[in-house]
Each structure stands twice: as C-alpha cells, then as structure tokens.
Amino acid sequence: MVLVRLDRWREAEADDLAAAVRHSAGRAPVPHLVVCCPGPPGTEDKAELRLAEALAGDARVRVVTSADLAALYPVDGYFDEYGERSADVPYTRAMFAALGTAVARATHAWVTPRPKVVAVDADNTLWDGVVGEDGPLGVRVPPARRAFQELLLAQRAAGRLIAVCSKNAEADVLAVLAGHPDMVLRPEHVSAHRIDWAPKSANLAALAAELDLGLDSFVFLDDNPVEVAEVRAAHPEVLALALPAEAEAVPGYLRHCWPLDLTSVTDDDRERAERYAVEARRRAAGTAAPSMASFLEGLDLVVQVRPMAPADLARTAQLTQRTNQFNLTTVRRGAAELSAVDGEVLVVDVRDRFGSYGQVGVVVHSVDPVHRRLCVETFLLSCRVLGRGVEHRVLAALGTLAAERGLAGIALAYAPTGRNRPAYDFLTGLPGVRREGDTFALSTQDARAARYEPPAGAPPPVAGTVAARPAAPADAERVHRVASGLTSAARVLAAIDARRDGPATTVRTDDPTEARVAAIWAELLDFPPGSVHDNFHELGGHSLALVRFAVRVRDEFGVELPVDALFTDAFTVAGIARTIREHATDGLDSLLAELEQLSDDEVRALLDADR
C-alpha cells in the first residue's frame, strides 16, 4: 500500500513511480494499492492523473485518486496549513478519517468476493407506485428512481447481471420496462426475471438455478423489510438489503454499499450479460435436440489451449479466485502471483456456432525432468462449459504438449473440497488413470486419447449448480449499517468517538483553560488525564495526536504553541494551560503596542471600515 502526495511532483517523476509500482507488483504476489493524497485546494493534479493513466489496466494495481476520494467522502476545509507547516501533517482529523475509510474500502473490494447478480424488486423500488393498481403507464419514475436505475446499468456494464424478482403480474412489470417513457432500465438489460406471487426466496433460488450461479453471489434489493427478512431467513447467504423508504436516499445508500464497489473490470466481465442471452439460445437448441450427442455435434465446439498473454492476466486471476466446481486444487492466485509462477500458464478459449464463451479455463504446469512428466498444478474450467467435453479436449491438448516435449506422462494434482466433486468425477473416469497420493497420473498416450462420450439418449446439458456445502451467511446487517450510517467522514468520526469507553476526563480544576485543555486531551487520547499534572506522552500521546492537539489549541485559543513546549516534561494540562495564557497575553500586548502607534485619524478609519 502506497499513500503519496503528488502536488509537488513533476509528471516525469510520476512515470518513475508508476514504473516502480509495476516492478514491485511483478515481484511481490500481492495486490498493490496506491492512494493519491490531495494537495492544498487549488493545486493542479497533473502528476496524479499521469500516474493513474500509467497504471490503468494493470490488474495487480489499483489507484485511488484524490478525485475518487472527494467523490466518496468530501471534506470541507480538509487542508491544515498550520499542521503542514509545523509538522508535515497537512490534514484535518476529518480528512484522515476519509483517507482511512477509503483505504479500508478499497482493501475490502479486493479481498472479498464480488457479487455476480443484483436482483431487484419492482414496485416502489424501480418506480413509485404499484403497477397492478396504477397501470404500466401510471407508475411514476422520478429522478431518484432513474438515478437508481443508472446505478444498476453501471453494475451491468461492469459484468454483474440484473434480475427482477417481484410479486406482480408478469405482463404488467414487463410492460413498464418496455413502454414507460421515463424508464432507464429496459427488458434487454434484464438477464432473468421471476415475476409471480411465489415467495421471493423461492424465486431467487429459481433465478440462481437458471443463471447457474450460487445464491451467495446474489444481492437482493427491496423496499419492503418484511420481504428482505423472509429472504434472509430462507437464504442467509444472499445479501438481502432493505432500501431506504425515501427514494431520494436510495442512490446515496447504494454508493456506500461496499459489496457493490467495482474493481478491475475485464473484457469477460463486460460481455457477461450478453453471454447469458446467448446461453439461453443454446438451451433452446438443446431442448430441440434428440440426444446429447447430437446437441454437442451441432454446437461446432472449438477449444483453444494457448500460453497466457499479458492481456489475459486479469481474467486468469479472476478464474483462479472464483472457480470452485471444476477446479482440481482450488489454489487461488492473484495477478502478481501468476506473473511470478514457476512454470507455464495456459489459458483455454471456447467458442461454438452461437458465439464465444470467452476465456473459460486455466492450466498451470511445470516439467518434472526426473520422472519425465508434465506436472499440472492447476486445472480449472468455468462451470458454463461443463458437460460439453471441454475438459477432455484440454487434457488431450496437454497430452500433445507432453508428447512434443518427449515426456512419458502427466500428473494432475488434486485436493478435494466440498465443492469440486465434478473435478473428481472427471479424474476417476479417465481410462488408464492411476491414483498416486495427491495426484492422478496417466500416460501421455492415454492423455492424448481422452474423449468425451456422452451417455446415449441423455438429455442435452442444462445449466445447474452442483450441490455443495452451504455458503457462509452474508453480513447484511453490517453492510446496511455502513451504507446507511457511515456515509461521510463526519459520521465515521462520530462512530469512532462513540466507541470510546470511560469518562471524558476526571480532572478537577477551577481554571477554565485547564478544563478545556483536559477535555481536548480526553478526545484525542485513549487514556484521558486524571489530573492537571499528567503528562501527554505518558498517556499514550503519539506524534499525530500531538499535531492534532496543537491544531485544536490554535483553532480554539488562537495560540500557536512553540515546539519546545510540546516535547518537555512540562507537557501537562497545567503546563500547556500556562503556556496558552502566556502567549495569549503576549499577543494582546503586541496588539496594544501596535494600536498605540496609530494616530486618531487611523483609529477612526479602522473603526469606520469595521462598521
């Protein structure tokens, strides 16, 4: 993680930083986060923009610009010139809260699984009113509802599927989507829908089956807390959220719904919604086919296994992190780890007569020269191509590769999980395969001969998730609390302050300056002072707290404390109060001396100007 101020940097220096970050990301198998801290108001951000452009498209790196920060957590008066001048601490406490929250949020987006489907209610969610009572053209779509729909389209553009789950007459809802002049969301934007009078939990399960996705990849948005509670009770793995009752509050709520934050978006993500429409046409063709064999023959399936290119890095990392069912080892790798892998990375592209499936597979392998074997550490395929013989074609391609390199066999590493049963079934069904501890081995000849033999008369493949262990419950309450309450730096600070335990201060004094100093210490320190003789540093005061204290004194008393007063044994409540009084008196004496030098005419002129 790098936090950097670029307002004093030249653009060429920003290029040097970008090169250093890329070099580090290539060496260290961890994500790299670069946060651009803002300079004083009015400063140019050319170097910052140069850095962001230089690192754009690198899946190993995420850049948060000062503009990104201001859009999420704007802070008025964020820059502290006194703190900058006295200790190179240029921000107010609110600005540090904004920075810290932005860092936590960016990290959260990187380390937590991203949802794949956003399912939404219709009445009083997509529009105001009840379509069954008001009619398709009678519901209202005010600006706040259109803003909500635009946010949904942004999610779709980033690769998430939009589904509608509503208790309504299907024809009415579809009529609003297709015909209401104020709607932004249209039928072609909706990948699937369930619109009837069944419980929404049942309909979400049906949507998951149709889309071949787990319920733990769903976000469900509804204005009715009762419906949300029903979904949470039936499917705790669904992130079910009750939207604010006021339509105007919904866009802001969703902007601070951290699971919906967008990270690096791959071409595969952008094409996902269209791909599901193509899959629907495949299913229709499958239904018309007399057998699975004839269905597969009619697909004209083409499988390409090729070395990973730099442009494939983001999607390859994404597949290793998301694929569970056909994944022999479920080893998760980030982009940096893939770049540094000790071996060769292959990717799998698949297409048929309906269109491209995109990049759907990854193989990581190395050569064992002692045993003359191709050792496969990772072999995974997206579930959208399972049941079509793609896995057999990939194995055959690996057999050909082994033969070209003069190798005698292939060893496939396998680690069982609660979700990769399809991978195990594939391995155990291979002719000539031998189990050797944690690997399955077969000869190069047997690998090259791998073929898929669909069961005679079996129905065509239809998407469907494999039974797996239950997913972890979604942390919906925490997500809701953040989205509804921690939406600004001021609110974050208030939440932090509310967690402080114990009394604000136990100092007893009749001196108002001492009382105020003690109160400020109590706000800044983990251990509030118990007497006017307690030392700031002994109570846990660190350098940042010290600067914040000096800024508070400047703001409240108009006194800039000398540095030597902050690093002595006299840095006590009583000592600082005494220093404040002395400097306040010095300031008054200076003012009086200046006034004594003015003539009567100058004094009258100043008084007239003040009026």
Any idea what the CATH number is for the domain that residue 559 is in? 1.10.1200.10
Strand order in the sheet with 2-5: 2-5, 32-37, 61-64
Same domain, 344 and 256: no
The secondary structure of residue 8, as a DSSP letter, is: T
Domain boundary among 407, 427, 448: 448
Tokens read off for 438:
């944690």
Residue 464 lies in a domain: no
Note whether 134 and 199 are same-domain residues: yes
User: Computed over its alpha carbons, how large is the radius of gyration of the chain?
Assistant: 32
Residue pair 287/460 in contact (Cβ under 8 Å)? The answer is yes
pLDDT given at position 469: 45
- 514 domain-assigned: yes
- Assigned domain for 481 exists: no
Other C-beta atoms lying within 10 Å of the C-beta of residue 189: 18
pLDDT at 422: 93
DSSP assignment of 412-460 equals: EE----SS-HHHHHHHHTSTT-EEETTEEEEEHHHHHT----PPTTPPP
> What does the DSSP 8-state code read for residue 301?
-
107 and 235, same domain (yes or no): no
pLDDT at residue 464, rounded to an integer: 43
Residues contacting 60, CB < 8 A, separation 6+:
22, 25, 26, 31, 32, 313, 334, 335, 336, 339
For residue range 389-430, list pLDDT tens digits in order: 999 999 999 999 999 999 999 999 999 998 899 999 999 999
Residues 237 and 188 in one domain: yes
Asked if residue 323 belongs to a domain, the reply is yes
* Residue 252 sits in the same domain as residue 313: no
Do 590 and 535 lie in one domain? The reply is yes
| Structure tokens given for 13 | 């220096």
Is residue 145 located within the same domain as residue 50?
no
Instruction: Count how many Cα atoms sit within 13 Å of the Cα of residue 484 in the half-sphere of its side chain.
Output: 12
Q: Is 336 exposed, middle or buried (0-12, 13-18, 19+ CB in 10 A)?
A: buried
* CB 350, CB 360: distance < 8 Å: yes
Instruction: Indicate whether 581 belongs to any domain.
Output: yes
pTM of the model: 0.69
Q: Are residues 76 and 41 in contact, defined by beta-carbon separation less than 8 angstroms? A: no
Only one residue has tokens 């002994």, namely 538
Domain boundary among 433, 448, 463: 448
88, 111, 134 - which closes a domain: 111
Same domain, 36 and 127: no
Residue 598 is predicted with a pLDDT of: 67
DSSP state of 474: P
Helix runs in 327-367, H state only: 335-339
d(CA 183, CA 192): 18
Q: Are 353 and 444 contained in the same domain?
A: yes
Q: Looking at residue 156, which CATH number applies to its domain?
A: 3.40.50.1000
179 and 96 part of one domain: no
3-state secondary structure of 505: coil
Domain that includes residue 557, residue range: 500-596
Domain count, the chain: 4
* Rounded CA separation 64/107 (Å): 11
Residue 408 placed within a domain: yes
CA dist., res. 393 & res. 303, Å (int): 7
What's the pLDDT tens digit per position in 517-528? Answer: 888 888 777 677
221-230: Cβ within 8 A, 24+ apart: 221/118, 221/119, 221/120, 221/121, 221/125, 221/254, 222/120, 222/121, 222/125, 223/121, 223/123, 223/124, 223/125, 224/121, 224/124, 227/121, 227/167, 227/200, 230/199, 230/200, 230/201
Q: What is the pLDDT of residue 84?
A: 86
Let me know whether 306 and 407 are in one domain.
Answer: yes
In a domain? residue 410: yes
What is the C-alpha to C-alpha distance for residues 494 and 513, in angstroms, rounded to an integer? 25
Instruction: Spell out, as residue ranges, where the chain has pLDDT lower than 50.
Output: 458-469, 588, 591
Kindly state whether residue 22 falls inside one of the protein's structural domains: yes
CB atoms within 10 A of CB 307: 9
Residue linked to tokens 């889309």: 211
Residue 123 and residue 235 share a domain: yes
